[in-house]
């Protein structure tokens, strides 16, 4: 069985591939990092193409065409069919911890992760308080093949880190993308991986190099793997991904390549 849509993802020695698994789709904006959400834009295109998973419209104040929060129970067992070990990005088109995702549906997603132990799953949320609450109740013993992360786009949202630390996890990571300002109050204690990226698309907000350097230097001192994804620009690759003469492609020690290394 062929895995879901593949993405190039920076990793040790260059680009590694991730696959996506979207047991839910759709979302609602919660903070400034959501303003130019790629998933919202892509959902509008998928609706126009007639994709059956993106035919429900969200609230125009917080969502958009084809982007209403939607459960896809028929997708729950997909990772169990993938025979080759994969690095799986969970809910690239949604947020698993959206308040309208029922607790028992989250439990079913966790059960698939547990059963599909050959894969490594990483899940990102802007709602780490609900993530911490549910995982402590549903899966207090961390799954060794699951990484849990939150987005911090500006200094006002560094408080999300404390909620992430309350989450039982074998790997906790931060997505500082799109990075919209310096993060002087960011506490990296207990964080296992950090990646940074700039915004892309029409009207993108520029990321200052010094904001990135500060995060890189703090990760280096703390011994935290650091990955720099992109400068951003009109297109995702417009600015490249070189920082001070080199690329930064570090991933958590827990990561296993699909070939077993």
| Single pTM value for the model | 0.91
Question: Which residue's structure tokens are 């077993």?
Answer: 260
Q: How far apart are CA 259 and CA 130, in angstroms?
A: 34
Question: Which of these, 141, 70, 75, lies nearest to 112 by C-alpha position?
Answer: 75
Question: Which residue's structure tokens are 């696959």?
Answer: 19
Write out pLDDT tens, residues 85-110.
999 999 999 999 999 999 999 999 99
pLDDT of residue 112: 98
Averaged confidence pLDDT in the chain: 91
pLDDT of residue 257: 55
Write out pLDDT tens, residues 178-236.
999 999 999 999 999 999 999 988 889 999 999 999 999 999 999 999 999 999 988 87
- For 1-34, b where at least 16 C-beta lie within 10 A, e where not — what string? eebbeeeebbbeeeebebbbbbbbbbbbbeeebb
Torsion of CA 97, 140, 251, 235, to 10 degrees: 0
Q: Which residues pair with 147 in a beta bridge?
A: 122, 171
Task: Reply yes or no on whether the pLDDT at 14 is more than 50.
Answer: no
> Which secondary-structure segment (H or E) carries 137?
helix 128-138
């Amino acid at each position: 069985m062929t895995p879901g849509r593949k993405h190039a993802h920076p990793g040790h020695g260059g680009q590694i591939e991730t696959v996506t698994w979207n047991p839910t789709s759709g979302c609602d904006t919660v903070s400034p990092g959501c303003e130019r959400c790629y998933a919202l834009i892509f959902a509008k295109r998928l609706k126009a193409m007639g994709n059956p998973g993106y035919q429900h419209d969200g609230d125009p104040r917080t969502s958009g065409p084809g982007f209403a929060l939607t459960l896809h129970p028929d997708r729950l067992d997909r990772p169990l069919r993938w025979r080759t070990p994969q690095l799986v990005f969970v809910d690239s088109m949604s947020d698993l911890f959206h308040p309208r995702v029922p607790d028992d549906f989250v439990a079913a997603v966790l059960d698939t992760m547990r059963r599909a132990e050959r894969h490594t799953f990483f899940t990102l949320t802007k709602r780490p308080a609900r993530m911490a609450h549910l995982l402590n109740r549903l899966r207090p013993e961390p799954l060794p093949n699951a990484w849990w992360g939150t987005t911090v786009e500006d200094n006002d949202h560094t408080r999300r880190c404390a909620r992430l630390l309350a989450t039982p996890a074998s790997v906790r990571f931060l997505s500082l993308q799109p990075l919209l300002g310096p993060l002087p109050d960011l506490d990296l204690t207990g964080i296992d991986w950090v990646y940074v990226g700039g915004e892309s698309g029409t009207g993108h907000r520029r990321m200052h190099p010094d904001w990135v350097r500060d995060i890189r230097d703090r990760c280096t001192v703390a011994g935290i793997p650091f990955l720099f994804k992109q400068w951003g620009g009109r297109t995702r690759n417009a600015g490249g991904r070189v920082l001070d003469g080199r690329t930064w492609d570090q991933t958590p020690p827990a990561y296993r390549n699909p070939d077993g290394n």
